[in-house]
Amino acid sequence: MTALAGSPRAVEPQAVADLRVAVVGSGPAGLYTAEAMVKQAAADGVEVEVDVLDRLPTPYGLVRYGVAPDHPSIRSIADYLRRVLELPRVRFLGGLCFGRDVTREMLLACYDAVVYATGAPLDKRLRVPGEDLPGSAAAADFVRWYCGHPDSDPAMFELDAEAVAVIGAGNVALDVARILAKPAAEFGATDVPEPVLAALAASRVREVHIISRRGPAQARFTPKELRELGEAPGFEVTVDPAQTDLDRFDPTGESSALAESDRRVRGNLAVIREWAGREPRECPRRVSVRFWERPVEIIGTDRVTALRVERTRPEAAGRVAGTGEFTELPVQLVLRSVGYQSVPLPGVPFDERRAVVPNAEGRVLGADGTPLAGEYVSGWLKRGATGVIGSNKSDAAQTVRALLADRARDARPAHRADRAAPRLAELLAARGVRPVSYADWLGIDEREHELATALGRGERVKLCGWDALDRACGRGRAARAGARP
Ligand code: NAP
């Protein structure tokens, strides 16, 4: 059997399988886990059923609600993940909030194993004064807004700021800066919701600062994404040429050593040096990339009016120290883009310090450090918010190897061995909860294609808000109420 040989339809698994697995989360981590389950189990001659649960009525997690709308090739990973959802042994159960509609106990009663793959939805904080002023927000909120996440208020970002500071030197900062700086017309054929397109068209943004507390060699950008920023239309990118002189800014020698040893760093430096050498030109918008500066205060009374940054200097082991030299940047919007973190799942062990589920190769560890029977984790919830989407594939394969090795070694739990385990569908029905099926999701999918055609806007335009999603998938208000955060 080829792992991705399913037909494009919603299939209800029929027979009682050897192994029944629930995967919580239908983003890349969850769906790569489902795919690995089907593939590896088939290789072991084990008949498996995988139910993939999600809080949202829509699958694909960050591929749908995190990848930038102008990155169609990364978005097309959804086509691959769709084929996983359409495997005969895989079933989508959307609109189920873990901890409310379904609990850990329910899943452990119904399945031989549960894999948690809920990602890292929470933004990290800066912990500087003024962070909660109107006009200061998480890049994660901005991303959810332009991706049309149903939890996001379409009116959240008016873009009436002329200058914006984006804090952090990772790929999310690049996405956010590019979306702010590109002309709105560039998004007409993308899937951004109509209110987002209108806000981008009315944007007053002229200047975006990307602020990195360390140097160009330590930035977490990847060269391809960095290069793309300089090639995008409608704005110019500037860098202080002096900052590209690594030894001048970093007498510790660490920057030069990184440039020598790390291909990604060399790629980034080539792009940054090319920008530093460009002749200034007239452009309606500008993105300036500023290194060796850290935010110390977001200034304003009713809303943000400036960002106070301190010049930093490198210390040993990649750390930085403040120099006492301060600058105030007049900005009206500050977006912190300093990484994501996972949130605890009710009843599931959680390492608060590392913000991950404690695990050994994907086996969830209890308080005494030993694996808990039947509980596994994959993706960002397992290893933290690092790596590109594809990194989740090998990560999921590792978790599934552990799960199948345990299953081959351990006897099936008694309630599973006599096949008397309850079915989740029955427990949900008893609680009056109706999950969103794959066929229901296809209703949303179709409606989004129709909307794009009606508006003359590309292939898909995202439906905005819970009510529109509920209508498109034929769900009533009562059924949906449980899925809201
Ligand atoms: P990230 O890559 O971890 O970058 C976070 C940035 O924030 C770093 O520059 C970090 O600086 C800085 N930072 C952290 N705490 C700070 C503080 N208190 N003050 C100032 N700066 C601070 O995170 P991300 O950009 O959110 O990306 C998450 C993951 O998604 C990454 O693996 C990324 O590659 C991936 N991603 C990929 C794509 C793509 O491939 N197109 C797009 C988006 C995201 P230090 O290094 O000094 O800590």
Q: What is the pLDDT of residues 104-132, one digit of tens each?
A: 999 999 999 999 999 999 999 999 999 99
Q: Ligand 1 pocket check: which of 63, 75, 338, 342 to mutate, most ligand atoms within 8 Å of Cβ?
A: 338
244 CA distance to ligand 1 middle (Å): 20
Q: Which two tokens stand for residue 83?
A: 């084929």
The predicted pLDDT at position 475 comes to: 78
- pLDDT attached to residue 415: 54
From 60, 117, 59, select the one nearest 93 (Cα to Cα). Answer: 59
CA of 218 to the centre of ligand 1 (A): 11
Closest by CA position to 205, among listed 280, 286, 281, 295: 286
Residue 212 CA, ligand 1 centroid: distance in Å: 10
How many whole angstroms from 24 Cα to the centroid of ligand 1? 25
pLDDT score of 399: 98
Distance 339 CA to ligand 1 centre (A): 5
**pLDDT of res. 324:** 98
Q: Which of 220, 268, 294 to mutate to test the pocket of ligand 1 (most atoms within 8 A of CB)?
A: 220
- Listed in order, the ranges of the chain carrying CATH 3.40.50.720 are 19-121+342-472
How far is the centre of ligand 1, averaged over its atoms, from the C-alpha of 120 (Å)? Answer: 13
Tell me the CA–centroid distance for residue 220 and ligand 1, in Å.
Answer: 6
CA distances from 206 to 203, 282, 285, 287, 333 (A): 9, 12, 5, 9, 12
Bridge partners (DSSP) of residue 22 are 51, 114
Indicate which atom in ligand 1 lies nearest the CA of residue 74: 41
Tell me, in angstroms, the distance from the centre of ligand 1 to residue 340's CA: 8
Read off the pLDDT of residues 153-192 as tens digits, 9 standing for 90 and up: 999 999 999 999 999 999 999 999 999 999 999 999 999 9
Query: What residues are in contact with ligand 1 under a 6 Å CB criterion?
Result: 74, 126, 167-173, 175, 212-214, 218, 220, 222, 225, 294, 337-340, 385-388
Q: Which atom of ligand 1 is nearest to the CA of 218?
A: 46
**Protein residue with least CA distance to atom 25, ligand 1:** 170
Mutational test site, ligand 1, from 172, 209, 320, 380, max ligand atoms within 8 Å of CB = 172
Shortest-distance Cα residue to atom 9 of ligand 1: 169
Atom 29 of ligand 1, nearest CA residue = 386
Residue 134: CB atoms within 10 A of its CB come to 11
The Å distance, Cα 386 to ligand 1 centre, comes to 8
For domain 122-340, the CATH architecture is: 3-Layer(bba) Sandwich (3.50)
**Residue range 317-363, pLDDT digits in tens:** 888 999 999 999 999 999 999 999 999 999 999 999 999 999 999 99
3-state secondary structure of 27: coil
pLDDT in the model for residue 413: 62
Q: Where in the chain is the domain with CATH 3.50.50.60?
A: 122-340
Task: Output the six-digit token pair for 251.
Answer: 């007498």
Atom of ligand 1 nearest to the CA of 169: 9
Angle at 460 between CA 455 and CA 465, to 5 degrees: 90
Give the chain's residues under pLDDT 70: 1-16, 411-420, 476-485
Site to probe by mutation for ligand 1, drawn from 131, 171, 222, 258 as the one with most ligand atoms within 8 Å of Cβ, is 171
Q: What is the mean pLDDT of the chain?
A: 92
Distance CA(357)–CA(351), nearest Å, equals: 6
Residues 451, 449: Cα–Cα separation, whole Å: 5
CB of 335 closer than 8 Å to CB of 347: no
**Selecting from 3.20.20.70, 3.40.50.970, 3.40.1480.10, 3.40.50.720, what CATH number does the domain 19-121+342-472 have?**
3.40.50.720
pLDDT the model gives residue 149: 98
Q: Can you tell me which atom of ligand 1 is nearest the CA of 173?
A: 25
